[in-house]
A and B are shown apart, each in its own frame.
Chain A
Amino acid sequence: MLGAHCPGGTCARRSISNSDSHPGLGIPLRAMTAHSFALPVIIFTTFWGLIGIAGPWFVPKGPNRGVIITMLVATAVCCYLFWLIAILAQLNPLFGPQLKNETIWYVHFLWE
């Protein structure tokens, strides 16, 4: 049974539905409810977008204006790209982690 192995309410987020695929992303619906992909993308894009695109408008005029604007834009680009690569690499994993049996017991009982 589906809910038998979940002590407490740890998997309350898992909805009981059939394994249809999401039309757009090709990921099973059931898996999507745990960690969504769209939400972090929106959050981080807005965050780094604010810093990299909106930030330069608020830099006060002075001799260092150009330097600060360049720093903001470069930081936003580098950090956003770094995070994006990390999440894209894990989006569709081709293989899973190989765990020792002790670790499996531990994770089974303590994390889930």
Chain B
Amino acid sequence: MADQLYLENIDEFVTDQNKIVTYKWLSYTLGVHVNQAKQMLYDYVERKRKENSGAQLHVTYLVSGSLIQNGHSCHKVAVVREDKLEAVKSKLAVTASIHVYSIQKAMLKDSGPLFNTDYDILKSNLQNCSKFSAIQCAAAVPRVPAESSSSEKFEQSDLQVSSETQANNELTTNGHSPPTSKQIVQQPKGIMGMFASKAASKTQDANKETKTEVKEVTNVSSAGNKAPGKGNVMSNFFGKAAMNKLKVNLDSEQAVKEEKIVEQPPVSVTEPKLAAPTGLKKSSKKAEPVKMQQKEKTRGKRVELSDDETKETENMKKKRRRIKLPESDSSEDEVIPDSPGDYEAESPSPPPPASPPPEPVPKTEPEPPSIKSSNGEKRKRKRVLKSKTFVDDEGCMVTEKVYVSESCTDSEEELKMKTSSVHRPSAMTMKKEPKEERKGPKKGTAALGKTNRQVSITGFFQRK
């Protein structure tokens, strides 16, 4: 009875499940010695062929033996199809072994699937790979984990000792290397220290220095910096004319991932220089120091963020999404302009860098009105709920409803305003905007809270 069981099993595997049954696969599946598995396969083939001569069974055999080749007696081990078996056997001088390698229903063109079958079953049985083998090795005993870890510790301490002594001995020969490492360590500290200190009193010369150092910081801490958030910061300061230029630059950068941050500082650094002559000169001076502060601040924040970017940013992302969803209303109010929409689409994509931008954004958001008001034109600023579609950094299209501050007349300037109330007071104090402007964003958030529900109705009428 027990004999019949394995026959039925093999029958089921081959015929019903259409599997390739190799001797190794059978040995692991049934838990038998490899030789027994080979014999089982042979037995099955014989019986099946006796019962049903039209049986669709393809068999591969393993043949091994010696052959005289190039003056050497070469031992050959080969997996052959049944039809080639006799030919190969006749060529061998001495046949060492022949046994069934595998049985399958379909004819195999090459031996690739055999390897795959064996590999798969081996992967799932890696820990006891020699359990059913014909050779058992007494010396192959797995090391006790305590032994291995203690040996690792010993090696580590060894390495530490040797590295220390090496450092002591070779300080003279390698005298140049420790100072440079110190220098590199100190450099980011210096830059971070710069960020921490109040940079409000920087002149334009200092701005240039910080620009170059910011470049270095981006080189040092390029991981985790999100490019679009940076572009968003830039957009706050430029007038119409410079916007196109910036848009063009940022459009080209949208497709690229965060690694392009290295390019951006030079781009954005050149931007103010380009924008200054073409843009509004009055605001430029004001914009630049403010921008530089915020750039540094965003840099600083981004640098800090880059340290623990992945998990926390994802959590924050999820948090923000959750906050957003209840706010979104079904009715859409505004037509989303395409090209600026694309550009803005990038900007809200990374929420954590957006948390620094919200701080500068509320600060800088009143800037354009002040810029525009300085031009002599009076424009009202209204909060409008718009939905923006963008591709976030995971490559998913996301549609978000965000409040956008825009003037009554047609304005290409749209600033994003998140309804999160994460206001960092320290950041606030760094800014040197007049108080009224500071109240502006506060009012804005309060107003937003109020007009949350009515946005869909009122927003429809605001845009004229």
Report if A and B associate in a common complex.
no
